Structure 1
Amino acid sequence: MQNPSREEIKKVLDESKTIAVVGLSPNPSRTSYMVSEAMQKAGYRIIPVNPQADEVLGEKSYASLAEVPEPVDIVNVFRRSEFLPELAEAYLETDAPVFWTQLNVVDEEVFKKLTEAGRTVIMDRCIKVEHAILK
């Protein structure tokens, strides 16, 4: 598994505007909330994907990626690695060009499958940290 270069990741962050966050918790003490809040404050539109929540960070939450009614630039995943094969299938049904997983969320087979499908995949990296380093 080889993540894109820092230059490529910077380009992704520069060109992206909308991030669907799978597993975004409505609990402000959870990492997914803190990272998404920081990205929202940095100017990105955050779309929560969490069947347990109605709204997070002032945005309507959707039960699945399939229910998100607008184009998304990045699908950012805050779920455990064992959920990645199922999430990858749902992701391939979208037009989102980038599939991004947070720290310690890795699946080599999913990485291979999505890159072979022509998608950009970034795994095991915190989007907030990358944004802070590259902006």
Structure 2
Amino acid sequence: MRTPRQILAGAHTIAVVGASRDPQKPGHWVPKMLQEQGWHIVPVNPHATVLFGEHAYARLADVPEHIDVVQVFRPAEEAEGLVREAAAAGAGAIWLQEGIASPKARQLAGELALDYVDDTCMGAERALADMVHGGCEPECPVYHGIVPVPESSPEPADAR
């Protein structure tokens, strides 16, 4: 079984099940950051047609290209089914984001010879390793997350 860093270092294409249209959610900004760091992101969301400038697929089974890792932003109750779908799609690994864990999915992944990571943020793992696709020396701008939008505040009196 490969470590999370080995999985990420060996990946090129990451299918993101539960990719979000909401830029404030980790299901949006984590894959976007990975894309900005050089990984090919394939969004899987039945309610979107395009995310991150890429065609979004309704189901993992609809993705027509090879998938190295399936990144999951869905509830733990769906993890077992997603492990089966990842294996059927030919992925080498499944990665459940931070806060998502399933002992049954872990066991099934082992039975299906899939590398498995749960309850770990792929973006944090990338940042801790200072990794970009293809190596460990950043060659592109470092992503610093979302800049919070300040709440409306009255203009200062001298600005009027």
TM over 0.5: yes
Alpha-carbon distance between aligned partners in 1 of 2:14 and 2:126, rounded to the nearest angstrom: 13
2:44 aligned partner: 49
The answer to whether residue 18 in structure 2 is matched with residue 33 in structure 1 is: no
Q: Which has the higher helix share?
A: 1
Alpha-carbon distance between aligned partners in 1 of 2:6 and 2:100, rounded to the nearest angstrom: 22
Alpha-carbon distance between aligned partners in 1 of 2:16 and 2:99, rounded to the nearest angstrom: 16
Structure 1 position 116, deviation (Å): 2.0
RMSD, aligned CA: 1.2
Structure 1 position 70, deviation (Å): 0.1
Structure 1 or 2, whichever has the larger Rg, is 2
Alpha-carbon distance between aligned partners in 1 of 2:115 and 2:85, rounded to the nearest angstrom: 15
Q: Give the 3-state SS of the residue equivalent to 1:106 in structure 2.
A: coil
The answer to whether residue 8 in structure 2 is matched with residue 13 in structure 1 is: yes
Alpha-carbon distance between aligned partners in 2 of 1:104 and 1:80, rounded to the nearest angstrom: 9
Question: What whole-Å deviation, never above 9, does each CA across 1:91-110 have from its counterpart, x for those lacking one?
Answer: 22111101000011111011
1:84 aligned partner: 79
Alpha-carbon distance between aligned partners in 2 of 1:12 and 1:87, rounded to the nearest angstrom: 18
1:67 partner letter: D
The answer to whether residue 65 in structure 2 is matched with residue 70 in structure 1 is: yes
Structure 1 position 49, deviation (Å): 0.3
What fraction of aligned residue pairs are identical, expressed as a percent? Answer: 32
* Count of aligned residue pairs for this structure pair: 130
Unpaired runs of at least 5, structure 2: 132-160
Question: What whole-Å deviation, never above 9, does each CA across 1:54-104 have from its counterpart, x for those lacking one?
Answer: 110000000001000000111000001111122122122111101000011
Structure 1 position 9, deviation (Å): 2.2
Structure 1 position 47, deviation (Å): 0.3
Equivalent residues of 2:49, 2:55 under 8 A apart: yes
Q: Give the 3-state SS of the residue equivalent to 1:75 in structure 2.
A: strand
Alpha-carbon distance between aligned partners in 2 of 1:98 and 1:85, rounded to the nearest angstrom: 13
Alpha-carbon distance between aligned partners in 1 of 2:38 and 2:18, rounded to the nearest angstrom: 20
The answer to whether residue 123 in structure 2 is matched with residue 99 in structure 1 is: no
